[in-house]
Structure 1
Amino acid sequence: MALKNVIGIDHAVVMVKDLDKAAENYKRLGFTVSPRGTHSAHMGSGNYTIMFDPDYMELLGVLTPTEHNAPARSFLEKRGEGIERIAFTAVDSAAGAEEIRARGYTPVGPTDFERPVTLPNGTVSAAKFRTFQWPTAEAPGGVRIFACQHKTRETVWIPELMTHANGARRLKQVLIVSPDAATDAAHLAKMIDNAVRNEADGAIAVPSGGDRADFVFLSKDQLGKRYPGVSLDGLPDRGGAGLVIAADLAKTEQALGATGVKSGSSICVPPAAGNGTLLAFVKA
């Protein structure tokens, strides 16, 4: 029985070492990047968002070391930049936390927080959230998961931020490499009370819910066969590897220029050029 208060993927969190440099890099890749957000002193982090419909990407960086961001700092030290966690959309975080508790997972939270947002007209508002996490130790494929309830969608999904020169429209897949993809996929499926689906090349998909993006677990070798000609340098053997993004490929090709690598029906940004994240653009 699927979770009632947690629906599919909300956003992918790419952990970066230098937040402002990462934002400039993604602008060069043709993304429209939000103004920088600064979280609370307790969180000690800041972010930039890249808004799609109905999901988005978040570039996250540590501004001041705190107890709260210790797992993120540990990730950067051990892995380097890349996909550190994935958020689900929570309809009701408090109810969602109780749902996973009933399934044997002690939730972290719910926690309320907000960050200032500068709107296109220059006024300052706030983006407000209520989140909860599955236990930190429960990280299928080395990727943590949490759920995010948006209290102020209008200050996050801002129309001016949702059109991208590279034609990006939405997330289609989150790619997670693992030497034991079957075990890691089954782990996630249990955590979100969903089923697995076998792919033709032996990879294993876990639908995240609704019409949102799927998780795809596969070995690094399988990933290389999916995207021939694309250097996977910088990716771990186990961890978040990439994002498949539905896009207008004519715009993608023009915006990426020499950075884009044509691979089958995809146009890819290698991990080394995407802050530790393979970006595979596919026809929307």
Structure 2
Amino acid sequence: MALRHVIGVDHVVVAVRDLDAAAAAWRALGFTVSPRGTHSAHMGSGNYTIMFGEDYLELLGVLTPTEHNAPMRAFLEKREGLDRAAFTTDDAAAGAEELRAKGIAAIGPIAFGRPVTLPGGGEAEARFQVFQWPREARPAGLGIFACQHLTRENVWIPELQSHANGASRLLRIEVLAADPKAGAEELARLIDRVAEPEADGAWRVASGAHRADFVFLDRATLAARHPGVALDGLPEQGAAALVLGTADLPAAAKALGVSAGGTVAVPPARANGLLLRFEAA
């Protein structure tokens, strides 16, 4: 039975070493990037967001070393890339208790916020509560947590949801794993869902609520799914590719400077260690 207070993928966190340079690189790929945000002092981080209809992508960097961002700093010592995936929760406190009732040592809830520059001028505050699975619970190297949006209207700002590349949603998070079946089954256990095999040997875990799926696969399968895309810079294990839905595939190809007749994709070298692929949706 699925967890009551964990509802599909909310957003993915791309950890970057130079926050402003990363924002410029993603703008160059045809994304509308939010103004820079600075989180509460105990978080010690700053971000830019790339908003879609129900989900989003977050570029996250360390501004001040704190205890809270120590795991991300350790990640960034090795590489940039998709460090964590967040699920939507409707009640962070209840969600954490739900995990504890299943014998999983949840961390939180933790409250924080950040100022938001509004498109028409002025400033508001985005406020959140999150809880985390134990830090050692990283299926094939992927961290997971859940986020409750207390001020959704200050995050999903309409002017930020239109992108030159037509991107409209997260479709799949593809995770490299030495043992794809074991990685998928570990995630499925942590979120109380089911791991299902795919025809090419990959394993899929649906996140729920018609949000993005997780797909665990080996390097050969990843290469076969993204023909012609250089895989240099991807980890041996961990989140490697993000598949985005676009309402306009030719617009995505134009924004990325690739042929619309082939794979509309961006190699990791252009997207902070993450392979991006666009599909019609």
TM above 0.5, yes or no, is yes
Residue 280 (structure 2) pairs with residue 275 (structure 1): no
Structure 2 match to 1:232: 231
Structure 2 match to 1:14: 14
The whole-number CA distance in structure 1 between the counterparts of 2:64 and 2:178 is 34
Is the 1:228–1:263 contact (alpha carbons within 8 Å) kept by the matching residues of 2?
Answer: no
**CA RMSD in angstroms, aligned pairs only:** 1.1
Structure 2 match to 1:220: 219
Deviation readout 1:73-93 (Å, 9 max, x if unpaired): 000112x11000000000111
Deviation at 1:263, TM superposition (A): 8.4
The whole-number CA distance in structure 2 between the counterparts of 1:181 and 1:105 is 22
Residue 182 (structure 2) pairs with residue 153 (structure 1): no
Deviation at 1:64, TM superposition (A): 1.1
Q: Sequence identity of aligned pairs in percent?
A: 60
Is the 2:180–2:202 contact (alpha carbons within 8 Å) kept by the matching residues of 1?
Answer: yes
Count residues with an aligned counterpart.
280
Deviation readout 1:98-156 (Å, 9 max, x if unpaired): 11111111111001111000111111110000100000000001011000000001000
The whole-number CA distance in structure 1 between the counterparts of 2:261 and 2:12 is 23
Structure 1 match to 2:45: 45
- For residues 86-101 of structure 1, what are the structure 2 equivalents within 5 Å? 86-101=85-100
- For residues 1-284 of structure 1, what are the structure 2 equivalents within 5 Å? 1-78=1-78, 80-247=79-246, 248-257=248-257, 260=258, 266-284=263-281
Amino acid across the alignment from 2:101: A
Runs of 4+ in 1 over 3 A off after TM superposition: 260-264
1:261–1:104: structure 2 CA closer, same or farther, 3 Å change rule?
farther
User: Residue 264 of structure 2 aligns to a residue in which SS?
Assistant: strand
Gaps of 5+ in 2: none
Is the 2:13–2:60 contact (alpha carbons within 8 Å) kept by the matching residues of 1?
Answer: yes
The whole-number CA distance in structure 1 between the counterparts of 2:118 and 2:241 is 30
Is the 1:16–1:81 contact (alpha carbons within 8 Å) kept by the matching residues of 2?
Answer: yes
The whole-number CA distance in structure 2 between the counterparts of 1:227 and 1:174 is 13
Gaps of 5+ in 1: none
1:262–1:241: structure 2 CA closer, same or farther, 3 Å change rule?
farther
The whole-number CA distance in structure 2 between the counterparts of 1:190 and 1:253 is 38
The whole-number CA distance in structure 2 between the counterparts of 1:112 and 1:261 is 45
Amino acid across the alignment from 2:208: G
